[in-house]
Amino acid sequence: MYKLQNYISGKWISGEGDGQLLYNAVTGEPITVATSKGLDFKGILDHARTTGNPALRKMTFHERGNMLKALALHLRNHLDKFYQVSYQTGATKADSWIDIEGGIGNLFANASLRKKFPDEPFCIDGESHNFSKSGTFMGTHILVPKEGVAIHINAYNFPVWGMLEKIAVNLLAGMPAVVKPATVTSYLTEAVVKEIIASKILPEGALQLICGSAGDMLDHVTSQDVVTFTGSASTGLKLRSHPAILRESVPFNMEADSLNCIVLGEDVTPDKPEWDIFVKEVRKEMTVKAGQKCTAIRRIFVPENKMEDVWKTISTALSQTAIGNPLNEKVRMGSLAGEGQRSEVKAQVQKLLASSQLVYGSLDSVAVIDADANTGAFLSPVLLINDKPFSSPAVHEVEAFGPVSTIMPYKNMEEAIELSKKGKGSLCSSVVTADNKIAKQYVLGAATHHGRILVLNQECAKESTGHGSPLPLLVHGGPGRAGGGEEMGGIRGVKHYMQRVALQGSPASITAITHVYQPNAKGKDPGKHPFKKYFEELEIGDQLITEKRLITSEDIDRFADLSGDHFYAHIKTTDFTGTMFEQQVAHGYFIISAAAGLFVDSYEKNPVLLNYGIDELRFTKPVYPGAEIHIRFTCKEKLPQDPKDENDIPKGIVKWLVEILDGTEEPVVGVATILTMVAKR
């Protein structure tokens, strides 16, 4: 029988010994064996640190992002192969789409984040700060990739998404990864990693795979490594408490299974569209992946006077869900991932039944299509009712990780909020209501105990990704029982794999180090007008000092007439007693327009293609008639752009620091960052 391969130290290697036999979750037939026995786990981590890490650290964010994009495009060409393997895990086509194409979508989403970062291996984090009167001493923060390896220990329910959503972030940050998927579904992870390695898109050492036990790997972690874990809270606690992790202060990100909840607003009645939206969401979360999702709805809170209507309506919806072989087009819910998972779910439901009542489903039988309910790991959806949620701790503590949910009553929104918190922290919660006052009350009351809250109503339901769908640009994680971790989260997620350093020095030194111009650094003579330089020719610090322009009352009047902005402060006949101004004041937008007239070279075509926008525009003091302004115009930062197609003009975005000065003791009257699109040679 085929033995799963581990990809370590640049080679595909089988583990030693008999290993763990893995089964087709639908037919119960054995399909492969997994083992990592005999692997040199210290050597695996050293290979990542000494080979993969230096290669990734040398790459810029833009290069890493384009690498992720290329990988996503490559994997998309092999979807059919992945789907065929995924069916063996008990997943339907829709389940597999979430896992496989959802994971690839994470690669695309993180690839697009490159545009938020400089074309450098590192980045500035946040604002810079001046610490001296004369502007010679300042500070800022930078982020650099850690020198270690990201170790991902993943759950069995999403063998593709669980890997790709994590490695997308650490690879963009510049760190390699060692992935250890849950053994029971690791054969699907192996299939995807084989394509990744075959593509040769990632540098050697950037990704390694272990199919089987993690062995003594955590014994060899260092302070430069990062460990992430997805799975049960008990296992997470054991790993988080590992002596090496504590000794080395290794960042540990944990996403634990939690008792997520949904709340039906008091305003929702059976005749409203939100009623059907609510029922559909509960059914989906109970049946997608056969309820084997860390984000699945386990607790359902409804107004006490609607309990019977709700459970009957949900039961009817569940009865219409076809269960069976996921290869059959009629099937909407497949099996659990294996017999072990089914036995575990049944045992947990028995604990819940001590204080709850079963109103739909069965633990002993289930009607299936095109399959054998006994040899496959099939289980009926199970809907429970608990009438006393405040005196039944088990319903807020025991999770049956399958198609199982419990309905509970509440008297008012304060009770609903209190009940939602009894789960002691969850990954996500939803509230279904057409009343935004109810939504606000729930969100602000429950937010401390949930990592994500979905407000679901008729307006957003059609395009909403739903209760159980984490989004790659938002944080995925939750407090308390949910692990206290944060995954993905766009730029926030990338920063998790980087070291933040407070950097202090002169503006000139920090400009040279960061390749971003810092105010008060000495500018460079560009030799010619900066707008006459192509993107490659421009240097950070290229600076133009313009001629002066006298601001007159007539200028202000004409701008008021042209723009239609006749705010009282811009009218010279205004009585300025009791106002913030001494006399007629120039429009801020006139001043920035006049600034453009001073720094723009407008007499002939040049490499500047267009004005791309203005960031951080501030007017710091009023400009009165008689003032003379001039501009200090400095090349602040350069961001290359990828061509859209072969006909696109090669170009990049240039950020310019625009300082508007009036020559007084405190000369700055306005400051902005102007963005231009500049052609490459």
Percent pLDDT > 90 in the chain is 96
Q: Helix or strand or coil: residue 221?
A: coil
Q: Say which of 294, 428, 487, 659 is annotated catalytic.
A: 294
Residue among 192, 125, 129, 134 at smallest CA distance from 159? 192
pLDDT in tens, 275-311: 999 999 999 999 999 999 999 999 999 999 999 999 9
Among 386, 315, 373, smallest CA distance to 342 is for 373
Tokens 């002066």 map to which residue?
548
Tell the burial category of 94 from Cβ atoms under 10 Å away from its Cβ (0-12, 13-18, 19+).
Answer: middle
DSSP code, position 127: -
State the alpha helices, DSSP H only, in 369-488. Answer: 394-397, 413-421, 436-446, 458-461
**Total-model pTM:** 0.94
User: Which regions of the chain carry the CATH code 3.40.309.10?
Assistant: 260-471
Domain 260-471 has CATH 2.60.40.10: no
Mean pLDDT taken over the chain: 96
Does the pLDDT of residue 591 top 80, yes or no? yes
Contact 556, 539 (CB under 8 A): no
Checking if the pLDDT of 117 tops 80, the result is: yes
Residue 90 φ then ψ, to 5°: 95, 5
What pLDDT was estimated at residue 1?
A: 80
CA distances from 283 to 138, 278, 318, 442, 553 (A): 57, 9, 6, 22, 68
pLDDT at position 603 is 72
Q: What is the DSSP letter of 99?
A: I
pLDDT number for residue 584: 97
To the question of domain 40-118+146-256+492-498 being in CATH 3.40.605.10, the answer is yes
pLDDT of residue 169: 97
pLDDT at 601 over 90: no
Chain position carrying tokens 């700055």: 668
| pLDDT tens for each residue of 461-488 | 999 999 999 999 999 999 999 999 988 8
Model confidence pLDDT, tens digit, residues 60-81: 999 999 999 999 999 999 999 9
Q: How many CA atoms lie within 13 A of 621 on its CB side?
A: 15
Which position among 255, 274, 281, 399 bears the catalytic label? 255
Q: Is 211 a catalytic residue?
A: no
Q: Are 111 and 69 in contact (CB under 8 A)?
A: yes
**Which residues, in sequence order, are bridge partners of residue 151?**
178, 227
Query: Residues 597-626: what's their mean pLDDT?
Result: 92
231-259 pLDDT, tens digit each? 988 899 999 999 999 999 999 999 998 99
Let me know: does 475 contact 118? Beta carbons within 8 Å: no
Classified by CATH at the fold level, domain 505-679 comes out as Thiol Ester Dehydrase; Chain A (3.10.129)
pLDDT attached to residue 275: 98
C-alpha span between 285 and 406 (Å, rounded): 12
667: its two tokens:
């000369």
Q: Phi/psi at 68 (nearest 5 deg)?
A: -65, -40
| Tokens describing residue 636 | 């602040």
In 314-389, the DSSP E strands lie at 357-360, 382-385
How high is the pLDDT of residue 486? Answer: 87
Helix (H/G/I), strand (E/B), else coil: 138 = strand
pLDDT of residue 233: 86
The tens digit of pLDDT for each residue in 506-522 reads: 999 999 999 999 999 99
- Across the range 30-59, mean pLDDT stands at 97
Q: What is the pLDDT of residues 405-453, one digit of tens each?
A: 999 999 999 999 999 999 999 999 999 999 999 999 999 999 999 999 9
Tell me if residue 428 is catalytic: no
Res 319 pLDDT > 80: yes
Give the integer Cα–Cα distance in Å for 580 and 256.
55
Residue 489 reports pLDDT greater than 90: no
Q: CATH 3.40.605.10 region(s) of the chain?
A: 40-118+146-256+492-498
Q: How is the beta sheet containing 177-180 ordered, strand by strand? A: 11-14, 5-8, 207-209, 177-180, 150-153, 226-231, 252-256
3-state secondary structure of 204: coil
> For 654-670, how does the pLDDT look when each residue is reduced to its tens digit (9 = 90+)?
999 999 999 898 899 99
DSSP letter, residue 167 = H
Domain(s) of CATH 3.10.129.10: residues in the chain:
505-679
